[in-house]
């Protein structure tokens, strides 16, 4: 038994070595040449968040997995406001341009992420030269310039934008962000109006985490209805879906998918990952402001994932994709937040320095057993 195990390990190392030699011909698929994007063709787009090293080809193995299995990409970091406009008026599009060119060259649906977000936004955005908060009018003007310059720059190339990210708390109240505190709740409709003016053909989305929570679900529905009543274009709602093995329940996630579908907008699963690690908090959240101190017991799988946990991950992903397939009529895209476990943000969030296994491809960029099962599920769904 042990020898067979060793033999399998040796074989997989050989495969990795072959991949390293010739990344573009690396057989990082399900073993039968089938791909996720083909299996879900006609159902929904299969998306992935990509980073600059992947676009540049430095991470060539990840790049070949992207080209092979995915037909939609979203920028993991390079389109956030702090990256695009680190200093007022000094736009830097170099990484974002390469990201978009990569998408175009490989015929991928390109989503921009994200125009208005409290996090990874530069400090100058909200303050004057003395460090005090700017006036409402000034912040509106800065928001308008940022949105219109960025959306205008990528007009016709970026097919959909996360216009506003994470504006609502889990209980349905507005997040007390600088945008909210300085402008008021209409910063959301203003952002959508500005984006529409810059590219009327681009799809415009609201994106948030913990969309399964009843309070957030109801507030998002109300907010979208309000935009619709005013005739402001909103095309879709993105549900981030940073999950664990047990959170959220399929029932809660489904209730939100259904509520959002009833609004007549597209629903997207935008940042899917499934953490297998203990959650240090009372309940799960993807609030980037949250962090907990490292403890050994919070990092149980430093070396490898035991079979039982790997099986649980497979089952969890299957349950989620079966849910998405039930709603394929209104779900337009399901995107995972990263290519392989190696580069996942979950290794450092909400606890820095852990070893998590939340994605579909392992640290050697090889498909986990779940990939074959997901392909079968996609193919089986009529
Ligand atoms: C994360 C990135 O993955 C990290 O690399 C970065 O350090 C922090 O942001 N919700 C979002 C994403 O909308 O933009 C966040 O991405 C994850 C949570």
The answer to whether residue 5 sits within a structural domain is: no
Residue with CA at minimum distance from ligand 1 atom 13? 165
- The domain in which residue 303 lies consists of 28-380
pLDDT band at 295 (very low <50, low <70, confident <90, very high): very high
Residue with CA at minimum distance from ligand 1 atom 18? 286
Distance CA 61, CA 28 (A): 9
- pLDDT greater than 90 at residue 2: no
Answer with the residue of higher pLDDT: 192 or 1: 192
**Average pLDDT over every residue of 89-96:** 98
Best of 47, 49, 76, 286 for a ligand 1 pocket test (most atoms within 8 Å of beta carbon): 76
The predicted pLDDT at position 17 comes to 46
Structurally, the chain folds into a number of domains equal to: 1
CA of 87 to the centre of ligand 1 (A): 21
CA of 119 to the centre of ligand 1 (A): 9
In this predicted model, what pLDDT tens digit does every residue of 3-41 receive, in sequence order? Answer: 544 444 544 444 444 444 444 444 444 557 899 999 999
**Residue 62: other Cβ atoms inside 10 A:** 25
The question of whether 104 is a catalytic residue gets the answer: no
Q: Where does residue 149 rank: exposed (0-12), middle (13-18), buried (19+ CB within 10 A)?
A: middle
In this predicted model, what pLDDT tens digit does every residue of 302-333 receive, in sequence order? Answer: 999 999 999 999 999 999 999 999 999 999 99
The answer to whether residue 34 sits within a structural domain is: yes
CA of 77 to the centre of ligand 1 (A): 7
Across the chain, what does the average pLDDT equal?
A: 93
Residue with CA at minimum distance from ligand 1 atom 7? 345
Q: Write b or e for each residue in 323-361: b if 16 or more Cβ atoms lie within 10 A of its Cβ, otherwise e.
A: bbbebeebbbbbbbbbbbbbbbbbbebbbeebbbbbbbb
Helix/strand/coil (H/E/C) assignment for every residue in 279-311: CCCCCCCCCCCCCECCCHHHCCCCCCCCHHHHH
Q: Using an 8 Å Cβ cutoff, are 83 and 95 in contact?
A: yes
The model scores a pTM over 0.85:
yes
CA of 349 to the centre of ligand 1 (A): 9
In this predicted model, what pLDDT tens digit does every residue of 132-185 receive, in sequence order? Answer: 999 999 999 999 999 999 999 999 999 999 999 999 999 999 999 999 999 999
The answer to whether residue 1 sits within a structural domain is: no
| Ligand 1: lining residues by beta carbon, under 6 Å | 76-77, 165, 240, 271, 286, 288, 345
The answer to whether residue 218 sits within a structural domain is: yes
- pLDDT greater than 60 at residue 271: yes
In ligand 1, which atom is closest to the CA atom of 288?
A: 18
Distance CA 138, CA 153 (A): 22
β-pairing, 72-75 with 331-336? unpaired
List the Cα angle 166/52/313 in 5-degree steps: 60
The question of whether 293 is a catalytic residue gets the answer: no
Tell me, what CATH number does 348's domain have? 3.20.20.80
CA of 201 to the centre of ligand 1 (A): 27
**Given 32, 104, 166, 376, which residue is catalytic?**
166
**Given 271, 282, 293, 304, which residue is catalytic?**
271
CA 7 to chain centre: 37
The answer to whether residue 269 sits within a structural domain is: yes
The predicted pLDDT at position 30 comes to 53
Best of 337, 347, 358 for a ligand 1 pocket test (most atoms within 8 Å of beta carbon): 337
The answer to whether residue 131 sits within a structural domain is: yes
In this predicted model, what pLDDT tens digit does every residue of 179-214 receive, in sequence order? Answer: 999 999 999 999 999 999 999 999 999 999 999 999
Q: DSSP label at 210?
A: -
The answer to whether residue 191 sits within a structural domain is: yes
Q: Using an 8 Å Cβ cutoff, are 262 and 228 in contact?
A: no
Closest CA to 218 of 279, 175, 263: 263
The predicted pLDDT at position 172 comes to 98
In ligand 1, which atom is closest to the CA atom of 162?
A: 13
In ligand 1, which atom is closest to the CA atom of 49?
A: 3
CA of 345 to the centre of ligand 1 (A): 7
In ligand 1, which atom is closest to the CA atom of 242?
A: 18
The answer to whether residue 15 sits within a structural domain is: no
β-pair partners for 236: 205, 266
Q: What is the DSSP string of 100-116?
A: HHHHHHTT-EEEEEEEE
Largest Cα–Cα distance in the chain? 71
């Amino acid at each position: 038994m042990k020898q067979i195990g060793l033999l399998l390990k040796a074989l997989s190392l050989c495969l990795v070595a072959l991949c390293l030699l010739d990344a573009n011909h690396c057989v990082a698929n399900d073993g039968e040449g089938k791909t996720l994007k083909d299996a879900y063709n006609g159902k929904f787009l299969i998306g992935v968040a990509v980073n600059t090293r992947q676009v540049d080809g430095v991470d060539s193995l990840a790049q070949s997995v992207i080209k092979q299995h995915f037909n939609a990409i979203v920028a993991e970091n390079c389109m956030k406001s702090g990256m695009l406009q680190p200093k007022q008026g000094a736009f830097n599009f170099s990484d974002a341009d390469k990201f978009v060119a990569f998408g175009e060259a490989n015929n991928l649906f390109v989503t921009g992420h994200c125009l208005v977000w409290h996090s990874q936004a530069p400090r100058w955005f909200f303050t004057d030269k003395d460090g005090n908060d700017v006036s409402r009018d000034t912040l509106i003007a800065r928001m308008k310039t940022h949105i219109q310059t960025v959306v205008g720059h990528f007009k016709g190339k970026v097919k959909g934008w996360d216009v506003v990210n994470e504006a609502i708390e889990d209980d349905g109240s507005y997040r007390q962000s600088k945008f909210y505190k300085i402008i008021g709740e209409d910063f959301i409709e203003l952002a959508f109006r500005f984006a529409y003016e810059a590219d009327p053909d681009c799809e415009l989305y609201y994106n948030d985490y913990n969309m399964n929570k009843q309070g957030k679900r109801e507030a998002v529905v109300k907010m979208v209805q309000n935009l619709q009543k005013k005739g402001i274009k909103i095309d879709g709602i993105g549900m981030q879906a940073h999950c664990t093995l047990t959170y959220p329940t399929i029932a809660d996630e489904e209730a939100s998918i259904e509520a959002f579908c009833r609004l007549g907008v597209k629903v997207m699963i935008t940042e899917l990952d499934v953490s297998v690690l203990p959650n240090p908090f009372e309940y799960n959240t993807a609030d980037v402001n949250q962090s907990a101190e490292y403890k050994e017991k919070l990092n149980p799988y430093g070396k490898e994932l035991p079979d039982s946990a790997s099986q649980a991950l497979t089952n969890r992903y299957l349950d989620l994709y079966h849910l998405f397939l039930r709603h394929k009529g209104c779900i337009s895209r399901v995107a995972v937040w990263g290519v392989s476990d190696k580069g996942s943000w979950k290794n450092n969030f909400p606890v820095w320095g852990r070893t998590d296994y939340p994605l579909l491809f392992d640290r050697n960029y090889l498909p986990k057993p779940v990939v074959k099962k997901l392909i079968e599920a996609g193919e089986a769904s009529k």
